[in-house]
Amino acid sequence: MAVEAPPRGEARPAGRPRPRREREEELLVWPDLLFPEFVSSVLFTLTFVILSVFINAPLLNRANPDVTPNPSKAPWYFLNLQELLLHMHPAWAGVILPTIFLGFLAVIPFIDRRTEQQGVWFGSRFSALITGVTAIYAIGVTWLLVLFDAAKFEKLFRWIPSCDINSATGNLQGHQFPPCLADTAEGHVGFLGARDFQTRFMFSIGDLDWPADVDHIPWPLNDWTWNLGAIGLSGIHGWGGEHLNLAAAFAEQILPLVLIFFFTVLIIYILFRVGWVRNIRDIMIVMFTGALAAYLTLTIVGAFFRGAGQALILPTDIKVDEG
């Protein structure tokens, strides 16, 4: 039997609420979508107009393929990768790390399967605090590592003794321990960057000298030759004389990756001990926020703090040399 609706103006009797109609669950293109987009575009345009009034864009002459500007920079959205190229091996900086980050973004929904507060900004109890603290932490750590690799902390390491170098070979004079730093043309200085672990940082363990004895390690099977004349194959060689430069691998690959892993685990552990990180979602927030903050920091460094020869200088000192 059909139930008549109450007359207009009278309250609906208590009972099961009326289900939402499909129309009420929709969002209209106008004004729900187009109006916010219009406001955003106006604010974006006004921001660039204001910036153009106070900042003189470094517009150069017509492109000349015979002249390379100094500094020569990638588009702004690739400046973070260009900045990474200064600190680690090109394969890791340009391909492997970006691929790992994009893969991490893709697998987050498969790792965090909780549906509670799904799609809600700062849905968990401490998510806003986790995001803020992690962002500040990642920005600070990224800047410290950039400054270290730009020799800004060189004076802090002058306590490391000078190496006794054989002028003929450029290696250690005998075996030395504890570790030492080879002098430069300016005399005794501290670390000038991570690549000093490959060149100037020296020590001995027994008869093994770093880096002289580890920069030319032959791969296995280098000298092997197979002669399979019975099947028409002969003179097949192994790796063809390939060698491993362990000192370069440590400075350009092992050390940067260990630092990334260490500082990631450190902030997760600190926030866990504080009591803010409680589940997988909190860990994902830490990792995503840290990666994004480091990405933006490297972009800012590459855009505003790299001058001629990619030297780290203040933005006011940057001048483009057209060659």
Q: Which of 6-20, 157-171, 289-303 has the lowest mean pLDDT?
A: 6-20
The pLDDT > 70 percentage for the chain reads 84
The span from the CA of 63 to the CA of 159, in Å, is 49
pLDDT band at 72 (very low <50, low <70, confident <90, very high): confident
3-state secondary structure of 22: helix
**How does the average pLDDT of the chain come out, rounded?**
85
pLDDT, tens only, 203-224: 998 888 899 888 888 877 776 6
pLDDT band at 225 (very low <50, low <70, confident <90, very high): low
Q: Which of 35-39, 72-76, 233-237 has the lowest mean pLDDT?
A: 233-237
3-state secondary structure of 205: strand
Q: Which of 9-18, 120-129, 182-191, 245-254 has the lowest mean pLDDT?
A: 9-18
Beta-ladder partners of 180: 202
In DSSP notation, 86-138 reads TTS-HHIIIIIHHHHHHHHHHHHHHH----TTTT-TT-STTHHHHHHHHHHHH
The pLDDT > 90 percentage for the chain reads 50
> Does the pTM of the predicted model rise above 0.85?
no
Q: Is the pLDDT of residue 159 over 80?
A: yes
Q: At what angle do helices 280-304 and 255-274 cross, to 10 degrees?
A: 130
The span from the CA of 207 to the CA of 174, in Å, is 9
The span from the CA of 182 to the CA of 185, in Å, is 10
The span from the CA of 256 to the CA of 14, in Å, is 66
Residue linked to tokens 């980050």? 101
pLDDT, tens only, 277-310: 998 999 999 999 999 999 999 999 999 999 888 8
pLDDT of residue 132: 96
More confidently predicted of 306 and 57: 306
pLDDT, tens only, 95-152: 999 999 999 999 998 998 888 877 778 878 899 999 999 999 999 999 999 999 999 9
pLDDT of residue 182: 92
Give the helix/strand (H/E) hosting 156. none
For residue 107, CA distances in Å to 94, 102, 117, 228, 272 come to 21, 9, 19, 47, 22
Q: Is the pLDDT of residue 36 over 70?
A: yes
pLDDT of residue 170: 79
CB 84 within 8 A of CB 101: no
pLDDT band at 229 (very low <50, low <70, confident <90, very high): low
